[in-house]
Amino acid sequence: MPFAILRRFSIVAIGCVLAPPSLANEDYEFGVLFDAPGVETTFYACTACHSEMIVAQQGLTREEWDDMLEWMVEEQGMYEIEEPERSEILDYLAAHYNTDRPNFPRPLE
Amino acid sequence: MALDEDKKRSVHEFFGEDPEKADKEFFGRIANPDRRGFLKRTGLATMAAMVGTSIPFHRNMPIGFVPAAMAQENVLVGKDGLTLLNDRPVNAETPPELLDDAITPTSRHFIRNNGIPPENVDPEAWTLTIDGFVDTPMELSIADLREQFAVVTMALALECGGNGRAFFDPPAKGNQWTYGAIGCSEWTGVRLKDVLEKAGVQSIVVYTAHYGADSHLSGDPEKLPISRGMPIAKAMTDNILIAFEMNGEALHQMNGAPLRLVVPGWPGSCSQKWLTRIELRDQVHDGPKMTGTSYRVPAYKVAAGQDVPKEDFVIIERMPVKSLVTFPANNSDIGLETEVRGHAWSGDRTIDKVEISMDFGATWMNATLDAPVNDGAWQNWRANATFPQAGYYEIWARATDSEGVMQPFAIDWNPKGYLNNTMHRVGVRAS
């Protein structure tokens, strides 16, 4: 398992720039986040305070993502995200950044 | 897709000409709560204004892509080969094979930030306050520290509490560190113990509280990104430094310049960066990332994925026994005979033995193990490996510490993904 991970180290390194999900699309605006419905709302909500890179590293259930948003509001100074954006973000995160880690930047095998 | 060499040079030149301005503009930009508005406006003119000069290769530079590239080049200036996990806040780790040096060069020391580093880090103007339950509260400049206390240099191992988190299943929240949130550089500074003794530690003190000048990601000036501490008995040990130099030079900005704590063998978060204040408290510190489940593990063994009530978590103190193979590199081609080498460490303890296996753990041989260069340093080890025939092998390493505790094969899972000290495995093709 660790063997497989190390092979992927070389893709992200100093001096390089992060490759967006679609190499063919140079205008992609949402950093390392997976390109799917909900990505724009998610990207702007998250990157108001922190990089989307920390989002893309996580593998959480919908409930855990929900708790995470609550924690950010209660303890980290994030303003409440209104509906329907909140559900849109949770749907997006639960679909693409769940515990099976379909889009983990350095996938585990 | 990556910037070509000419474009990289142009960005470097920009930072070379006026790095302070570049920093300010970069950090000013990310502190802007209206990032959406900013990004929507971003065009060539905005970008040129932001960098303070024209962009000769702008035709090759995709709009919306440049700030990320600048951010990366900016945040990892002075670092070499680190894997960037997060660019705001900056978190970057070192691939194991780049940790091969006995003493970790500054360029290869990991970065773990919780907030946004301070902009003004003038060492001449910096002060450290010692207060709380002390007989004589003090405010000391870095020059005062140098003049009033013995200045010492020590090699000290620092490891992030979450090193190895990436291998947790189910996944644990946070930066997904693999192996490289560990380093052992030479730090120069004064002993925390000497400074606290001069201030006069009152008998009711039980814990330290550390404060730094970094700011919270939300931009709220009332919030601290992190403020941790340690039991006073630990604070009074000999190997904890208030450091102003790393490997003989001023501290690297991302490693806490101009002043930081270095608390070897305990989670890196105890080693407050951009250190401005140490308060002595009559209770366990309750600053950000001291409470809840931060830097805590269940008080008992749990199954992977188990729900653990918050009140059952305890504060992590020393880091567990661990080792790293730094040569050969994983996935490399080597001869039928090779040296194998790396480091081993165990918080507040020493390493008694490092063993390696080339046959998936069926048999083990002892490596030659050096004594630590000083208390708090990691220990270097090496062995000669001979492979019986060409093919794929894995080199496994396991350390045993002075209390007889050995690295486990499997992860001792905990909800927040701390303390993964499983054996390091390196795959090689021998021929």
pLDDT by residue (tens digit) across A66-104? 999 999 999 999 999 999 999 999 999 999 999 999 998
Contact state of B86 with A53 under an 8 Å Cβ cutoff: yes
Q: Does B168 touch chain A (CB under 8 A)?
A: no
Q: How many CA atoms lie within 13 A of A109 on its CB side?
A: 8
Confidence of residue B18 (pLDDT cuts 50, 70, 90): low
Q: How far is CA B47 from CA B42, B57, B342, in A?
A: 6, 12, 45
Q: Does B40 touch chain A (CB under 8 A)?
A: no
Contact state of A53 with B426 under an 8 Å Cβ cutoff: no
With tokens 């990556």, the residue in question is B2
B181 phi/psi in degrees, rounded to 5: -90, 55
Of residues B368 and A106, more confidence is placed in B368
Name the closest residue on chain B to residue A40, using Cα atoms: B36
CA distance B219 to B196: 32
Query: Among the listed ranges B20-29, B31-40, B87-96, B161-170, which one has the minimum average pLDDT value?
Result: B31-40
- A window 44-63, beta carbon within 8 A of B: 44, 47-51, 53-54, 57-60
- A window 3-32, beta carbon within 8 A of B: 3, 5-7, 9, 12-20, 23, 26-29, 31
Taking residues B296-310, what's their average pLDDT?
A: 97
* Residue A20 pLDDT exceeds 80: no
* Residue A12 pLDDT exceeds 60: no
Contact state of A13 with B216 under an 8 Å Cβ cutoff: no
Q: Does B216 touch chain A (CB under 8 A)?
A: yes
Q: What is the CA radius of gyration of chain B?
A: 23
* DSSP per-residue letters across B115-155: SBPPS---TTT-EEEEEESBSS-EEEEHHHHHHHS-EEEEE
Q: Do the Cβ atoms of B215 and B118 come closer than 8 Å?
A: yes
Q: What is the pLDDT of residue A48?
A: 92
| Neighboring chain B residues of A12 at a CB cutoff of 8 Å | 83-84
* DSSP per-residue letters across B45-79: HHHHHHHTS--TTGGGS-TTTHHHHHHHHHHTTT-
| Neighboring chain A residues of B96 at a CB cutoff of 8 Å | 6
* Residue A27 pLDDT exceeds 90: no
Q: What is the pLDDT of residue B304?
A: 96
| Residues in a beta bridge with B185 | B156
Q: Do the Cβ atoms of B241 and B191 come closer than 8 Å?
A: yes
Q: Does B425 touch chain A (CB under 8 A)?
A: yes
Q: Does B360 touch chain A (CB under 8 A)?
A: no
Task: State the pairing for strand pair B182-191/B332-334.
Answer: unpaired
Taking residues B178-195, what's their average pLDDT?
A: 98
Contact state of B178 with A27 under an 8 Å Cβ cutoff: no
Kindly report the CA angle at A49 between A47 and A54, in degrees rounded to 5?
Answer: 65
Contact state of B179 with A64 under an 8 Å Cβ cutoff: no
Q: What is the pLDDT of residue B60?
A: 62
Q: Does B324 touch chain A (CB under 8 A)?
A: no
Q: Do the Cβ atoms of B123 and B244 come closer than 8 Å?
A: yes
| Residues in a beta bridge with B414 | none
Burial class (CB in 10 A: 0-12, 13-18, 19+), B111: buried
Q: How many CA atoms lie within 13 A of B74 on its CB side?
A: 26
Helix axes B19-31, B44-51, angle to 10 degrees: 130
Three-class secondary structure of residue A13 per DSSP? coil
Contact state of A106 with B178 under an 8 Å Cβ cutoff: yes
Contact state of B35 with A60 under an 8 Å Cβ cutoff: no
* Residue A11 pLDDT exceeds 90: no
How does B35-57 read in b/e, with b if 16+ C-beta sit within 10 Å?
beeebeebeeeebeebbeeebee
Contact state of A6 with B96 under an 8 Å Cβ cutoff: yes
For B364, the token pair is 């083990």
Confidence of residue A25 (pLDDT cuts 50, 70, 90): low
B82, B84, B216: residue with CB nearest A77: B216
Which of A1, A3, A6 to mutate: most B Cβ within 10 Å? A6
Q: Does B429 touch chain A (CB under 8 A)?
A: no
With tokens 């305990």, the residue in question is B266
CA distance A43 to A46: 5
B372 phi/psi in degrees, rounded to 5: -65, 145
Name the closest residue on chain A to residue B218, using Cα atoms: A49
Residues of chain B with pLDDT > 90, as a percent, come to 82
B226-244 tens-digit pLDDT: 999 999 999 999 999 999 9
Residue B161: Cβ within 10 Å count:
27
For B184, the token pair is 């052992």
A19, A29, A44: residue with CB nearest B64: A29
CA distance A6 to B330: 7
Task: Show the 3-state SS of B297-328.
Answer: EECCCCCCCCCCCHHHEEECCCCCCEEEEEEC
B77-133 tens-digit pLDDT: 999 999 999 999 999 999 999 999 999 999 999 999 999 999 999 999 999 999 999
Q: Do the Cβ atoms of B214 and B116 come closer than 8 Å?
A: yes
Confidence of residue B40 (pLDDT cuts 50, 70, 90): very low
Q: Does A98 touch chain B (CB under 8 A)?
A: no
Four-point Cα dihedral B133, B139, B145, B148, nearest 10: -80
Q: What is the pLDDT of residue A105?
A: 79
Contact state of A27 with B89 under an 8 Å Cβ cutoff: no
Contact state of A6 with B36 under an 8 Å Cβ cutoff: no
| Neighboring chain A residues of B73 at a CB cutoff of 8 Å | 14-15
B366-423 tens-digit pLDDT: 999 999 999 999 999 999 999 999 999 999 999 999 999 999 999 999 999 999 999 9
Backbone torsion region of residue B289, taken as left when φ is above 0, otherwise alpha when ψ lies between -120 and 50, otherwise beta: left
Give the containing element (helix H, strand E) for B392. strand B391-401
CA distance B189 to B244: 5
* Residue B24 pLDDT exceeds 60: no
A50, A57, A108: residue with CB nearest B88: A50
Contact state of B176 with A27 under an 8 Å Cβ cutoff: no
Residue B304: Cβ within 10 Å count:
13
> Does ipTM top 0.85?
no
* Residue B9 pLDDT exceeds 60: no
The number of C-beta contacts closer than 8 angstroms across A and B is 130
B350-368 tens-digit pLDDT: 999 999 999 999 999 999 9
With tokens 């890179």, the residue in question is A53
Q: Which positions ≥6 away from A40 have C-beta within 8 Å?
A: A29, A30
Residue in B272, B306, B246 with CA at minimum distance from that of residue B128: B272
Q: Does B3 touch chain A (CB under 8 A)?
A: yes
| Neighboring chain B residues of A59 at a CB cutoff of 8 Å | 170-171
Residue in B315, B270, B269 with CA at minimum distance from that of residue B293: B315
Q: A40 CA to chain B: closest CA distance, Å?
A: 10
CA distance B405 to B248: 34
Q: What is the pLDDT of residue B17?
A: 54
Q: Do the Cβ atoms of B360 and A33 come closer than 8 Å?
A: no
| Residues in a beta bridge with B215 | B116
Q: A88 CA to chain B: closest CA distance, Å?
A: 17
